[in-house]
Amino acid sequence: MTKAAEMSHAPGRRWAPVTTKSFVSRFGLLALWLIEIVVFIAIAPKIFLNINTFSQLASSQASLVVLALAVVPTLAVGEIDLSVASVMGLGAIIFGQLNGVLGISPIVAIIVAVGTSAVAGLISGLITVLLRVQGLIVTLGMGTLALGITLLVSNSQSVGGVSPELSHFVNLPIGGVSVAFFIAIVLALVLWYVIRHMPLGRSMLFLGFNREVARLSGIRGNRLRILSFVAGSLIAGIAGVISIGVAGGADPTSFQPLLLPAFAATFLGTLVFTPGQVNPLGTVVSLYFLATGIFGIQVLGAGTWVSNVFYGVALVAIIAVSGIAANYGHLIGRKNHG
């Protein structure tokens, strides 16, 4: 990689003066989250002034946080992986069959489940890169294939009886919050460090920003794109293992609805901390912002439909805002060059 390229795709290395506008753009969602909590406290103080409410909310979203993080690697390099929810289900069911049904050691079952998930990502990456097929189409097909294999392996039945040791571990409370939550946070921190502070992560961001310029700068884009698919599917497999461990079982058809929340949180996360860039910590904040809103509205009497509406509106809104920002920047650029 050339020195110029190294400097150009290292946004975390440059310090810029913090203005009111930049502060709001970086931390505005955090402020909205705080306002959201204050409003719900005012409306339902008995529920929202109870620390157990937030402990349970944090724990209950752990596997979804990990799934949302599975979207980050491919999005960072400019790809979209629509198979992550199905791969999560595949990992969960394979673990359940091996450990809960066949009685295989949970360690071996985890390795096989997560490894199989990673292989699904490898296949998607190879087809996308080597055959030059759009990743969106490839992963849509891979998601359908993974769901089919999941139904085959489980015989279209729920799988249970997983290791009590795993369930005890992931549900073990630390300060009132389950270990599963802390696993999700540690994973988010690792991803954040890789993307923001390691050459590998900065190359991924640069590749996602401009693939042709990245190629001319000496970045091996094909390898990074394949790696991103593998990493995303591997993380999705981890999400599946955490999910079945938390619940003690899994329904093979219950994972596809999680795709929308995962993408909504990841896209919304691009507005936090480093606006315009994919970032794992922003993804975590966004997911809990959305989860808090959904929980609060449901407490006030709304039905289960509100979650789909909330996530859908969030996803459409962020895409609309991104489009407006891009068009505005284009108009400003034309004006300056005019």
Cα–Cα distance for residue pair 169/62, rounded to 1 Å: 14
The model's pTM is 0.87
Contacts of 189 (CB under 8 A, 6+ apart): 280, 281
pLDDT in tens, the chain (338 residues): 443 344 334 444 443 455 555 666 788 888 889 998 999 999 999 998 999 999 999 999 999 999 999 999 999 999 999 999 999 999 999 999 999 999 999 999 999 999 999 999 999 999 999 999 999 999 999 999 999 999 999 999 999 889 999 999 999 999 999 999 999 999 999 999 999 999 999 999 999 988 988 888 899 899 999 999 999 999 999 999 999 999 999 999 999 999 999 999 999 898 888 888 899 999 999 999 999 988 888 887 776 677 777 777 777 776 666 555 555 444 444 455 55
Per the CB < 8 A criterion, the answer to whether 69 and 287 are in contact is: no
Give the pLDDT confidence of 205-255 residue by residue, as tens digits: 999 988 988 888 899 899 999 999 999 999 999 999 999 999 999 999 999
Could you tell me which of 227, 232, 289, 247 has the C-alpha nearest to residue 264? 289
Residue with tokens 């929202």: 48
d(CA 148, CA 142): 10
- What residues contact 318, with CB distance under 8 A and at least 6 apart? 264, 267, 268, 270, 271
Amino acid at 300: L
Q: What is the DSSP letter of 255?
A: S
Residues 31, 273: Cα–Cα separation, whole Å:
12
Question: Which tokens go with 111?
Answer: 């390795």
> What is the C-alpha separation between 261 and 311, in angstroms, rounded?
6
| Angle, CA 250 vertex, CA 246 and CA 251 arms, to 5° | 150
Q: Give the span between the Cα atoms of 103 and 265, in whole angstroms.
A: 36
Judged by DSSP in three states, 22 sits in: helix
